[in-house]
Amino acid sequence: MNARYESAKKIYASFGVDTDVAISKLKNVPLSVHCWQGDDVIGFDHDGPLTGGIQTTGNYPGKARTPEELMNDMDKALSLCPGKKKINVHACYAIFEKGGFVDRDKLEPKHFAPWVEFAKKHGMGIDFNPTFFSHPMVKDGLTLSSPDEKVRKFWIEHGKACIRISQYFAEETGIPCVMNIWTGDGFKDIPADRLTPRMRYKASIEEILSEPFDTNKVKPCVESKVFGIGVESFTAGSAEFSLTFAATHEGCLPLMDNGHYHPTEVVSDKIPALLCFFPEIALHITRGVRWDSDHVLLFDDETKEMAKEIVRNDALDRVYMALDYFDASINRIAAWTVGIRSWQKALLAALCTPNAKLKSLQDAAQFTELMAMQEEVKTLPFGDVWKQYCEECGVASDLSWLDEIKQYEADVLSKRG
Ligand SMILES: [Mn+2]
């Protein structure tokens, strides 16, 4: 047994924390890993630009161009990270056989069979997302809230197809599929009518959810957003809209993306607010710098605080956790790896926090002691527990994972045109 871990374990035990229990708990918490970090949110079903108010920046060489490349790159990242994973796929990552292209309203489970094969190989579940952007049927920046019935119907049919595909994923993998509805629908400048687009948006999502599905297998979510690039003045799926929609539609979960709020709002505080009312909620975990910039997730204060709110409220099985960021300015496999490892660190740190003790200080209004102890906990030997966890999971416990990525870059990525 590692002497440093043994020492750390004793120190944590003196605070009432069992690090062995923390490590074994974390091994069973699934984290959904987004496929779109690997190719800058492009996908395989179109040639056009990324639209919908989101943007990738950077031009680091070696991005994945095919399903094979994307899956190989994901494989590499997953192999360097501890813990249980799921994969998160967008509908624009449909894989067509030669001559077999269909538009998004006609997608079928068979177009995602290679993803099922990939997931099964790793014993993972799959989460899914209809893709309401980067497509010619996005008319005047609108999809589900469009006044053009043809446009609105097209996207409703897309949503329904995605419900059927989500059910297929759940049945194939035996793991529920979280299906997230997000659109960039909105207006650049001050609208003359904010209600009617939202009424159409509401009706459209209701029509999508009228597609039959097993609520134990498919977990539909609605994701809110404050604004996007080019749609600064109005977003149909605002926080109030999405949250109220989920609250009033049985089986529909609210999804909070921590990049989708005003910069001084924190999702850590919103998690327990929603847990008061919803049996299950979903998260997109990202790092916004000044705006929804989707920087790579780090082991920073707000990330740690979000993990704490999940762990100390005993909600690890009530919160579906998914990464959602994309950085094209650095090695994309490293971007995945740093983000996955950061969330794993945040959860492990939360599991190694003397939560019961801290809560009792709060309840007794011993705020001096609470502050002092919260500060003391910050310098406990967490690194030794993290190393132990990585070793038990069979992945690098130090920076040697980066050497592996550098080697992969030299052998594989640098040869891509
Ligand atoms: Mn998101």
- Domains belonging to the chain, first-starting first, are 29-337 (3.20.20.150)
Nearest one of 292, 210, 365 to 284, comparing CA atoms: 292
Number of residues written out for the chain: 417
> Token pair of 255, please?
């999804």
Between the CA of 123 and the centroid of ligand 1 the distance, in Å, is: 24
Q: For residue 255, report the distance from its CA to the centre of ligand 1, in Å.
A: 8
If you measure from the C-alpha of residue 312 to the centroid of ligand 1, how many angstroms do you get, rounded to a whole number?
24
Q: 216 C-alpha vs ligand 1 centroid, how far in Å? A: 23
Residues 6+ away with beta carbon under 8 Å from 325: 34, 37, 259, 286, 287, 294, 295, 296, 297, 335, 339
Instruction: List the pLDDT tens digit at each of the 417 positions of the chain.
Output: 699 999 999 999 999 999 999 999 999 999 999 999 999 999 999 877 888 888 889 999 999 999 999 999 999 999 999 999 999 999 999 999 999 999 999 999 999 999 999 999 999 999 999 999 999 999 999 999 999 999 999 999 999 999 999 999 999 999 999 999 999 999 999 999 999 999 999 999 999 999 999 999 999 999 999 999 999 999 999 999 999 999 999 999 999 999 999 999 999 999 999 999 999 999 999 999 999 999 999 999 999 999 999 999 999 999 999 999 999 999 999 999 999 999 999 999 999 999 999 999 999 999 999 999 999 999 999 999 999 999 999 999 999 999 999 999 999 999 997
The answer to whether the CB of 297 falls within 8 A of the CB of 341 is: no
What's CA 230's distance to the chain center, in Å? 23
CA of 328 to the centre of ligand 1 (A): 17
Q: How far is the CA of 243 from the centre of ligand 1 (A)?
A: 15
Pairwise CA distance, residues 62 & 38, whole Å: 9
Catalytically active residues are 182, 223, 225, 257, 260, 284, 292, 294, 324
Distance 16 CA to ligand 1 centre (A): 36
A 10 A CB-CB count for 114 gives 15
Q: Over the stretch 185-225, which tens digit does the pLDDT of each residue have?
A: 999 999 999 999 999 999 999 999 999 999 999 999 999 99
CA distance 124 to 30: 9
How many whole angstroms from 14 Cα to the centroid of ligand 1? 40
Measured from the Cβ of residue 417, the count of other Cβ atoms closer than 10 Å reads 5
* CB-neighbour burial class of residue 176 (10 A; exposed 0-12, middle 13-18, buried 19+): buried
Two tokens, residue 310: 């999940």
Q: How far is the CA of 276 from the centre of ligand 1 (A)?
A: 22
- Cα(375) to centroid(ligand 1), Å: 32
